[in-house]
Structure 1
Amino acid sequence: MADQSDIAGGATGTQTPGGPGYGAQAPAGYGYPGGAALPSGKATASMVLGILGLVLIPIILPIIALCLGISARRMADRGVGGGRGQAVAGIVMGSVGIGFAVLGIIMATVQGISAM
């Protein structure tokens, strides 16, 4: 076998001066430091309650989803938390759920009146 002592990092355990090492730093990237803010719990809860309000409980959950969504969107606009998209989704689904609930109440009232 050949002598490996003349190759950088060989028998002596040294590195060449320009080689990779712990002192090298990655170049700085573009954009904001720290990345995007994580979604707040209010935004996530708003979206989940909006979905459940469309499927399970059409009167109570959409109202809660709408209130939480408005609060979470305001927080995201101030920069306190992230999840603006989830908050908007909760607002939209809460509004649609409230609309369906009002439509259902009107339909039930009309059917009740016409049955008399």
Structure 2
Amino acid sequence: MTDQSGSAGGAAGTQAPGAYPEGVPGYGAQPPNGYGYPGGAPLPTGKATAAMVLGILGLLLVPIILPIIALCLGISARRMADRGEGGGRGQATAGMVMGIIGCAFAALGFTVATIQAIGGV
């Protein structure tokens, strides 16, 4: 039933049960443009992932060559992430840090081996 004002509730200003006021989206309605994040965070690049993996392997398996590669890849991937060419800034930083630690351990190992070789003669 509609009254003279044209509203379906019978009295002016009332609405049918379950009806939403104008401007409020109901179920299944899409949010307006500009709501939330447009595309999500950019995905990590292969360089960032490789830097992190090589940094981990450099600490565990090959502490001479892999940390240097991890450090170089980490620096490159972090610069790419800073320019907005890809994501994975955290992975690149992790690869850089583990590369630095691996290089420090390798240098310490060479120093200890050299001291032992000189003192053992």
Whether 2:24 is the aligned partner of 1:25: answer no
2:108 corresponds to which residue?
103
Which structure 1 residue ranges, 5 or more long, are not aligned?
1-17
Number of paired residues? Answer: 98
Q: Deviations over 1:4-61 (max 9, x none)?
A: xxxxxxxxxxxxxx8x787x32345234x11100000000000000000000000000
2:4 corresponds to which residue?
none
Identity of aligned residues (%): 69
Whether 2:39 is the aligned partner of 1:38: answer no
Quote the Cα distance in structure 2 between the aligned partners of 1:26 and 1:64: 46
Structure 1 segments, 4+ long, off by >3 Å, are none
Per the alignment, do residues 91 and 26 of structure 1 end up closer, same or farther by CA in structure 2, a change over 3 Å counting? same
Whether 2:69 is the aligned partner of 1:64: answer yes
Which of 1 and 2 has greater Rg?
2
TM-score w.r.t. length of structure 2: 0.74
Question: Which of 74, 87, 91 matches 1:82?
Answer: 87
In angstroms, what is the RMSD of aligned CA positions?
A: 2.0
Quote the Cα distance in structure 2 between the aligned partners of 1:101 and 1:77: 29
Per the alignment, do residues 21 and 95 of structure 1 end up closer, same or farther by CA in structure 2, a change over 3 Å counting? closer
Which structure 2 residue ranges, 5 or more long, are not aligned?
1-19, 21-25
TM-score w.r.t. length of structure 1: 0.77
